[in-house]
């Protein structure tokens, strides 16, 4: 069997896809990499929430699968939105890498006052931790973000530690603790999406890591019940069934949080609904402030 696997053209996306291609090769399956541009890659001058959220990195690849141009696509799983088109399936979830955010800085930590990040979650968590910080918009691929840091446009930037590890990059700085800076749902996880065809899905099935899949399915269940997408600052992280989920005000001044051991996806949905009720005012405020229809 020979497969066509789609990916974004960034260095990180290609590294993730090449890892999957290598895993398939170890099992005697050939694969061709097909690079596809997405709106999220081309519209870098505006915040993600202004162009439709994290799903902008996924839609073009979904469409290419459904048109039959590729058989599957490799994604950072946190980019995959909750609502999915018919005819697609998540055929493999790779073993999770680091879920943590990484604060990269070349000046002393106590001299950091301006931090670059396009994430409403990261902004809110940073401001909760240090209200005097200035958090400025930062879009672009990893290389672009690092270049802007080194040019002095920011004192520090926040990146996913897993992305740095996959690219083999070592930057000065430190990972942020996941209990205080709760990651985005599915951060650190790579997923493969393919057309809903047993033969294609079966080729990827041996790559699936069952424990990671359960943890990220718990996170996604909570995310789906809470709602808000990337518009509302929210962190959701589960490890071995131990769940932390929180929703924050955009300025980090208030938050609602749950910490529970969760055994099933159904139980996760119950806690997600409970958190949505607790955080209803914060969610409404975020939508209103960002000019997004709820």
Question: Which residues carry out catalysis?
Answer: 79
User: Alpha carbon of 154 to those of 27, 87, 137: distances in Å?
Assistant: 45, 43, 10
Residue linked to tokens 């019940």: 225
Phi, psi angle pair for 135, to nearest 5°: -110, 115
Report the C-alpha dihedral over residues 122, 125, 128, 131, rounded to 10 degrees: -20
Distance CA 162, CA 172 (A): 15
Q: Which token pair is 155? A: 């004192």
Phi-psi region of 96 (alpha: psi -120 to 50; beta: other; left: phi over 0): beta
Which residues contact residue 117 at a Cβ distance below 8 angstroms, ignoring those fewer than 6 apart? 123, 126, 135, 137, 138, 157, 158
């Amino acid at each position: 069997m020979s497969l066509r696997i789609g990916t974004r053209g960034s260095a990180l996306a290609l590294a993730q896809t090449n890892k999957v291609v290598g895993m398939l090769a170890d099992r005697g399956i050939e694969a061709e990499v097909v690079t596809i541009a997405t709106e999220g890659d081309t519209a870098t001058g505006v915040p993600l929430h202004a162009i439709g959220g994290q799903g902008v990195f996924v839609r073009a690849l979904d469409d290419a699968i459904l048109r039959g141009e590729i058989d599957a696509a490799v994604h950072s799983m946190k980019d995959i939105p909750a609502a999915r088109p018919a005819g697609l399936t998540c055929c493999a979830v790779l073993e999770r890498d680091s879920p943590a955010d990484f604060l990269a800085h070349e000046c002393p930590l106590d001299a950091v006052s301006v931090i670059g990040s396009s994430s409403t979650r990261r902004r809110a968590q940073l401001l909760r931790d240090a209200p005097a910080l200035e958090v400025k918009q930062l879009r672009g691929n990893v290389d672009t973000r690092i270049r802007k840091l080194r040019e002095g446009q920011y004192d520090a930037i926040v990146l996913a530690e897993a992305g740095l590890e996959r690219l083999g990059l070592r930057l000065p700085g430190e990972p942020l603790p996941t209990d205080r800076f709760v990651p985005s749902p599915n951060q650190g996880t790579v997923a493969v999406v393919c057309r809903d065809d047993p033969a294609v899905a079966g080729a990827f099935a041996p790559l699936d890591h069952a424990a990671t899949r359960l943890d990220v399915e718990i996170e996604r269940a909570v995310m789906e019940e809470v709602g808000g997408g990337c518009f509302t600052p929210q962190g959701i992280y589960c490890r071995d069934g131990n769940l932390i989920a929180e929703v924050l005000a955009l300025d980090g001044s208030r938050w609602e949080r749950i910490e529970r051991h969760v055994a099933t996806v159904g139980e996760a949905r119950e806690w997600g609904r409970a958190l949505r009720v607790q955080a209803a005012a914060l969610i409404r405020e975020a939508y209103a402030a960002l000019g997004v229809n709820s």
